[in-house]
Structures are given as structure tokens and as C-alpha cells.
Structure 1
Amino acid sequence: MTSILQILLLILDVAQFIIFAHIIMSWLINFQVLNLRQPLVAQLWNGLNRLLEPLYSKVRNILPSMGGLDLAPLIVLLGVYALRIVLINNQFAFS
């Protein structure tokens, strides 16, 4: 059962990495360091958006409008951290 906990923690680590990659890539695109006309950048950006937009849209429906500030990635990242804490604190259930 410990392996199930380790697999769940690995999935959360991968999700955390993907969210960080999306956040950093959005900053680089907005500051025009990366150009969406480059095929590789466009493919990565579209892939990350397709992967994360279902999560972000659910969070955006709950959050009030903040103008141009998008807090959905932060809320999703906090959710990943919270899940990780819950799993680690309840690891005795997996043994």
C-alpha cells in the first residue's frame, strides 16, 4: 500500500511541475521572450492550455472577477499542495 501513496505523490509532483511550467511560460510569452509564432512554443502552449484549462475554468467560475489578474493557477497549485499534505499526514492508512 505504500507504493500507492508514492504513486499519488508522484502524480501530484508532476501536476505541480506542469502548473509551474504553464505559469513561467505565460510570463515569458507576456514579456515577449517567447514567441507563439514559433511552432514548438505554440505546441507546448496549446498542450499546456488544453491540459490545465478545465481545472482553471472551474476555479475561475468560483472566484470573483479580479480585472486582469488571474488567480486560478495559484488556487489550483494551493490545492495540489493541500492534497499532498493530506496524503502525507494520513500515510499510516496506506501501510
Structure 2
Amino acid sequence: MADQCTTCIGRPGTIRNPQRRRELLGVDANGRYDEGHTVCHATLDGNPDGLPAAVCAWIAQHPQAAAHSLALRMAAVTGIEYISAPGAAGDDASG
């Protein structure tokens, strides 16, 4: 995603449980980041806007999570297509 949705799970105060926040960022019990990513909730299967699955902007903009995400590293090599969040300025693909 090019930017966070207005209802993004990464917005301050949204995830109150610190353990859940670490899990979504891909941090294991030893404090290491895994190679995963979190899919933006607005792009899950069957979303009303017909958007393809996309990595959550919160993850893509997080310095440690983004650097460890295999999906984002692969996209950096093959080309990243940014999708604007529904209702955001520039609703079309922007990248």
C-alpha cells in the first residue's frame, strides 16, 4: 500500500496488546524479525474495491519489519506497485 488506511492496524493506539503488535510486525520470542509480512485488511479476498492483495503500509514503512520481509525484498528487485488506500487522495495505483 502507498499509505496507511484510515483504519490501519498500525495506527497509534489501535493495537493495545504489545504481544499482538510484535506478532503483526513479525517479531519472534527472541526479538528477531521473520521474513513475513501483514496483508492490508482493505485488500483481503473479496474486498469491495476489488484491490489485489498488498502488504500493509504500516509494515512496508517500518524500518525493521520492511527490511526483513521477503515479499518486500522480492518486490524491490522485481518492481513495486503502490496501491492507494480506499478513500485516499489518488485512489488509483500510484506507482
**TM-score (structure 2 length as normaliser):** 0.25
Structure with more contact order per residue of length (Cα contacts < 8 Å, sep ≥ 6):
1
